[in-house]
Structure 1
């Protein structure tokens, strides 16, 4: 090998390094965006989970009473 060929094969060009950094920056921004969406959706998911648990408990109480509600059924005043 000649000395000029050895020096040309020793590393990356500036263009290759800049392109790799740009790709990493784009990937990092997309990951940050997705994690932000996840954090914003957490309270909504907590409320939905709690609402589902309450509804399941109400249905279990109705099932254990072995009495179907009438068409004008409403929650009893004593229970909330």
Structure 2
């Protein structure tokens, strides 16, 4: 076993670096609105038609800020997956 000695300033600088890194990782949170490809990945589907069907049925929320841009609500996708999950015995 090795013992590492640090001066006060070095110790607090190390703690600051660790806290900074943890905060950066927490900042990389999931966006509320995701693209179609991200939604398909999250739903684990391959077909854009299936994604459109879910959108048309109102199963998942979406936003269309411009004509060719459709964004999907990440929370509604999580809710959809939860609604369709099966409980264990």
> Structures share a fold, TM > 0.5?
no
Which of 1 and 2 has greater Rg? 1
TM-score (norm 1): 0.40
TM-score (norm 2): 0.37
Higher share of residues assigned helix: 1
- The structure with higher relative contact order (CA 8 Å, sep 6+) is 2
Higher share of residues assigned strand: 2
